């Protein structure tokens, strides 16, 4: 079996599994959906909620049914699947009608799941999230969730010119411009993670910049681009001398990891390509060089942190394959996908969460594992439609 057929077989198994589950699933961070966290003290004590969330995502036994946590639809799952089906409809033309019909159904679900009361379409996660520096109740919109979803919608629009999706994208840009807080440095700024906080997270604000630039590309309204460039300049001004970016600025999260670095690189690449602002390529090149040299082992395996290999994480591995594919490292990306099949694939249509030095965390997470791998394999085949053997 050649690589194309092998990867397509995995994709079809993933789609079968995801659809049989009706796109519902568990999430590493969904412990606060348990009824016990609606009880006095547990519903309000930040320390208990935060550490319960951090501890629970590391437990390799699925205690969710016992705790009353139900499988639910995470809007990001739908966005990632729409993006995947978009690519597959061009790679697997025999089943194009199926993919297009799934996209239409998922788009309607996304509209229903959008957060209400904001300046435009926006989305959040389906669970309360007790972050280190913010409290984000379920379905509170974030620029990360919204940016991941709209990126999938933009790819669908780019390849189909669907006018309904165009209007959704413009509407979502209004959420970014009007509802997120801004932390300024001179005339540059960082978008907040959500309307509820003032976090300065580099990959998050870059997702906002990417959406604004995408909307600029389909409207030619320069206001979107001007605002996008201001936050891009904030990010490149805060690039470390070695080409890396910490996760955030102004707090303790001064680590460099694989997939958040990849998010910044992907969004910066889209900004450059859609804006035509080639002067930012120097920062992209510097960041990409750091990424390749420091976030993979010498034999090509993805490292979770710049100084630490484990855990082997499903989003980390899937995103590394996506980013390597984007920047033309095809053999490296192919190696990563085969590495994922060897280390994280169940053989039954879903992917495991993580592999640590001592054990494999085998719980199936719909957003974190399965939707991301569906995108990774689909994007790889789409980008190499005429070249893969």
CA distance 5 to 159: 24
Sheet with strand 360-364: strands edge to edge: 312-313, 352-355, 360-364
Asked whether the beta carbons of 192 and 198 are under 8 A apart, the reply is yes
Q: Under 8 Å CB-to-CB from 183, ≥6 apart: which residues?
A: 189, 190, 192, 198, 200, 250
Q: Is the pLDDT of residue 1 over 80?
A: no
Asked whether the beta carbons of 248 and 202 are under 8 A apart, the reply is yes
Cα–Cα separations (whole angstroms), residue 300 to 198, 295, 339: 37, 9, 9
Q: Rounded to an integer, what is the distance from CA 164 to the centroid of its chain?
A: 23
Global pTM reads 0.96
Burial class of residue 67 (count of CB atoms within 10 Å of its CB; 0-12, 13-18, 19+): middle
pLDDT value of residue 388:
46
Helix, coil or strand: residue 348: coil
Work out the number of other CB atoms within 10 angstroms of the CB of residue 100: 16
CA distance 17 to 351: 10
Q: Residues 282-327: pLDDT tens digits?
A: 999 999 999 999 999 999 999 999 999 999 999 999 999 999 999 9
Q: Rounded to an integer, what is the distance from CA 387 to the centroid of its chain?
A: 27
Give the residue from 244, 340, 343, 339 showing the smallest Cα distance to 295: 244
Please give the domain boundaries of the chain with CATH numbers for all domains. Answer: 27-70 (no CATH), 114-295 (1.50.10.20)
Task: Dump strand ranges (E) for the chain.
Answer: 24-25, 72-73, 129-130, 135-136, 182-185, 188-191, 200-201, 248-249, 312-313, 352-355, 360-364
Q: Residues 374-383: pLDDT tens digits?
A: 999 999 999 9
Helix, coil or strand: residue 232: helix
Q: Residues 143-160: pLDDT tens digits?
A: 999 999 999 999 999 999
Residue 389: pLDDT band (50, 70, 90) is very low
Tell me phi and psi for residue 160, to 5 degrees: -125, -20
- 180 vs 389, higher pLDDT: 180
Q: Residues 339-352: pLDDT tens digits?
A: 999 999 999 999 99
**Residue 188 bridge partners (DSSP):** 185
Tell whether omega for the bond before 377 is within 30 degrees of 0, i.e. cis: no
């Amino acid at each position: 079996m050649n690589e194309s057929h092998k990867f397509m077989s995995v994709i079809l198994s993933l789609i079968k599994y995801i659809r049989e589950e009706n796109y519902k699933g568990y999430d590493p961070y969904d412990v606060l959906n348990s009824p016990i966290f609606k009880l006095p003290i547990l519903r309000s004590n930040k320390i208990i909620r935060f550490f319960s969330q951090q501890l629970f995502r590391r437990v390799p036994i699925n205690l969710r049914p016992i705790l009353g946590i139900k499988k639910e639809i995470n809007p990001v799952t739908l966005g990632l699947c729409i993006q995947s089906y978009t690519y597959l409809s061009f790679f697997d033309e025999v089943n194009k009608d199926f993919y297009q019909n799934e996209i239409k159904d998922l788009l309607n679900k996304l509209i229903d799941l959008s957060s209400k009361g904001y300046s435009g379409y926006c989305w959040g996660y389906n669970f309360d999230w007790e972050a280190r520096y913010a409290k984000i109740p379920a379905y509170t919109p974030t620029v990360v969730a919204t940016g991941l979803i709209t990126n999938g919608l933009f790819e669908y629009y780019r390849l189909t010119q669907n006018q309904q999706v165009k209007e959704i994208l413009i509407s979502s840009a209004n959420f970014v411009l009007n509802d997120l807080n801004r932390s300024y440095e001179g005339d540059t700024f960082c978008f907040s993670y959500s309307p509820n906080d003032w976090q300065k997270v580099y990959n998050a604000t870059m997702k906002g910049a990417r959406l604004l630039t995408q909307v600029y590309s389909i409207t030619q309204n320069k206001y979107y681009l001007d605002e996008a460039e201001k936050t891009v300049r904030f990010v490149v001004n805060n690039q470390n001398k070695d080409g890396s970016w910490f996760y955030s600025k102004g707090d303790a999260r001064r680590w460099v990891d694989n997939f958040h670095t990849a998010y910044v690189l992907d969004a910066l690449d889209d900004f450059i390509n859609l804006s035509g602002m080639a002067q930012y390529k120097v920062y992209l090149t510097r960041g990409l060089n750091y990424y390749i040299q420091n976030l993979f082992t010498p034999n090509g395996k993805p490292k979770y942190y710049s100084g630490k290999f484990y855990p082997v994480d499903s989003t980390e591995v899937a995103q590394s394959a996506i980013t390597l594919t984007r920047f033309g490292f095809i053999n490296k990306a192919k190696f990563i996908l085969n590495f994922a099949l060897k280390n994280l694939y169940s053989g039954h249509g879903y992917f495991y969460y993580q592999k640590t030095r001592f054990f494999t965390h085998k719980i199936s997470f719909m957003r974190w594992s399965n939707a991301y791998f569906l995108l990774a394999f689909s994007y790889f085949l789409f980008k190499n439609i005429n070249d893969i053997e």
